[in-house]
């Protein structure tokens, strides 16, 4: 049987080399991290690819302090900063956690940079397919994550906008690194969208 490659079934996320790869994160997916996966509560958290703040806002509900930055200014008041440059912005204190949805093509670079900065942990939201490839095998061998947390629900992401009604066939997971934890554990994030999604998530962004 031939594989169904219709874009109505498989959401494409193949971007030009110079693309910003801006796929806003539904806020409920960040709350799922905070409640089911990673102990970010009461810590200083930085999202260095924050876009319009769709991850930074829900992080602020749990963290002691939350900072957001992005290489592009989306007009929401977040710091403009290229995370892959070898210096820290003066406006952001030493983060305990770095939590982000990195550009897919720069995911490994973001992770390696984050691991050299965050003192307590790094969490990235990526397509589950990110776990594949020979190139990333080196990363996972050198720096094994503590947790791979697979969503059992789809996390719909649409290029350039936050869309509550969107659907997707693409699977996502959180990958989490924590100091001293190198025996990777697999978890499943239970169905939680209904409980963790709010109308204000979309009103605040309007």
Check residue 85 and give its pLDDT.
96
Q: Which CATH architecture has domain 27-85+92-198?
A: 3-Layer(aba) Sandwich (3.40)
What is the side-by-side order of every strand in the sheet holding 44-47? 79-80, 65-70, 44-47, 97-100, 121-127, 172-177, 147-151, 185-189
Q: What is the pLDDT of residues 85-129, one digit of tens each?
A: 999 999 999 999 999 999 989 999 999 999 999 999 999 999 999
Residues in CB range of 178: below 8 A, 6 or more apart: 38, 120, 121, 146, 147
Check residue 14 and give its pLDDT.
44
Q: What is the pLDDT of residues 137-186, one digit of tens each?
A: 999 999 999 999 999 999 999 999 999 999 999 999 999 999 999 999 99
Average pLDDT over residues 20-46: 95
The gap between the terminal CA atoms of the chain, to the nearest Å, is: 44
Average pLDDT over residues 34-40: 97
The structure's pTM equals 0.89
Q: How confident is the model at residue 206 (pLDDT cuts 50, 70, 90)?
A: low
Domain borders along the chain are 27-85+92-198
Check residue 17 and give its pLDDT.
39
Return d(Cα 120, Cα 129) in angstroms, integer: 26
Check residue 20 and give its pLDDT.
64
Q: What is the pLDDT of residues 3-23, one digit of tens each?
A: 443 333 334 434 433 446 899
Check residue 2 and give its pLDDT.
43
């Amino acid at each position: 049987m031939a594989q169904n490659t219709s874009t109505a079934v498989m959401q494409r996320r193949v971007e030009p080399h110079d693309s910003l790869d801006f796929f806003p994160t539904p806020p409920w997916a960040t709350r799922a991290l905070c409640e089911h996966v990673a102990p970010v509560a009461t810590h200083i958290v930085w999202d260095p690819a924050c876009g319009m703040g769709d991850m930074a806002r829900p992080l602020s509900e749990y963290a002691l302090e939350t900072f957001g930055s992005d290489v592009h200014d989306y007009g929401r008041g977040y710091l403009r900063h290229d995370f892959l440059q070898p210096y820290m912005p003066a406006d952001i204190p030493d983060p305990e956690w770095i939590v982000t949805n990195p550009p897919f093509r720069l995911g490994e670079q973001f992770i390696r940079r984050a691991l050299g900065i965050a003192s307590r942990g790094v969490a990235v939201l990526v397509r589950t397919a990110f776990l594949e490839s020979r190139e990333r095998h080196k990363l996972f061998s050198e720096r094994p994550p503590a947790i791979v947390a697979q969503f059992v629900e789809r996390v719909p992401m649409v290029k350039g906008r936050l869309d509550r009604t969107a659907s997707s066939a693409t699977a996502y997971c959180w990958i989490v690194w924590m100091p001293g934890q190198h025996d990777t554990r697999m978890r499943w994030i239970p169905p939680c969208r209904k409980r963790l999604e709010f109308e204000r998530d979309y009103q605040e962004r309007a």
